[in-house]
Amino acid sequence: MVYSRWVLVRVEYLAPSLQFLTNACIVLFLIQSMDRLVLCLGCFWIRFKKIKPVPKGGGVVDLESTEKGFGFFPMVLVQIAMCNEKEVYQQSITVVCNLDWPKRKLLIQVLDDSDDPTTQLLIKEEVQKWQQEGANILYRHCIIRDGYKAGNLKSAMNCSYVRDYEFVAIFDAYFQPMPDFLKKIVPHFKDNEELGLVQARWSFVNKDENLLTRLQNINLAFHFEVEQQVNWIFINFFEFNGTAGLWRIKALEDAGGWLERTTVEDMDIAVRAHLHGWKFIFLNDVGEGGGELYM
């Protein structure tokens, strides 16, 4: 008697529900597969047509001519967001201080959100060392830590001297931009007042370390090579990856600045900037980073 009732429940209630869920999963799988297929076809089209962004005023800033009063040479603020980055803070600060950009046009903010006093002291000493060597670099630590990374960036953008700068480059502590990063990125903003963001592709120093890092690199390579690049070409929108990007400060201000309401502050600010009419450019051939994959 009990078994027959169980069979009845399975036939009349469980089986239809499971069949519905199975069909729903199949539909979602087909939609995702179609999405991936369209993205891959778009990537092949970009490769076939050799489409890539070309700055109106030339591909790389000529520092010598700029120092003589020619060329496009704006004020750039560089922000390094950190939080207990004891292992990588030194190399991160070092590579940013060696960016190939005249010091009088560059200010570096080390935004330390660490809660470990020892780490705070080490980072502060590293900043002081580079200050003694002539780098235009500042150390910032919020006593009241609020809003995680978004709160850290928001606090830094509220500094009075930020109004003197036109662009802000954002790096996470584990990223190591090449010295010519700004020379490759900045020219895209010349004579392009609608451009709000230029995002560079990530690269990794340990992508061939083991099977896990190779698989992670394949996954992230698809994200940049296919998703980001195709979305930029065909719909003029892609998500800001949170690092290795150069923002026009006016675009950030128009979008309302960084908001602590979300943990995906990079996507949030990109959506709001896009809704305000700002254009983006993704540079697939400018691999920036030197970050490390999890092993």
Q: From 28, 7, 49, 2, select the one nearest 233 (Cα to Cα).
A: 49
DSSP string for residues in 241-269: -SSSEEEEHHHHHHTT---TT-S-HHHHH
> What radius of gyration, in Å, describes the C-alpha atoms of the chain?
23
Angstrom CA distances, 48 to 5, 35, 45, 234, stand at 63, 20, 5, 15
Q: Which residues of 43-62 are buried (b: 16+ CB within 10 A; e: fewer)?
A: beebeeeeeebebeeeeebe
- Identify each DSSP E strand in the chain by its residue range: 76-82, 106-112, 137-141, 167-172, 195-204, 245-248, 279-291
As annotated, the active-site residues are: 113, 266
Burial 259-268 (b: 16+ CB within 10 A, else e): eeeeeebbeb
Who's near 197: CB < 8 A, 6+ residues apart?
240, 245, 246, 247, 248, 251, 270, 273, 278, 280, 281
Q: Looking at the chain, how many residues does it have?
A: 295
As given in the structure block, the two tokens for residue 111 are: 């935004």
- DSSP conformation class of 237: -
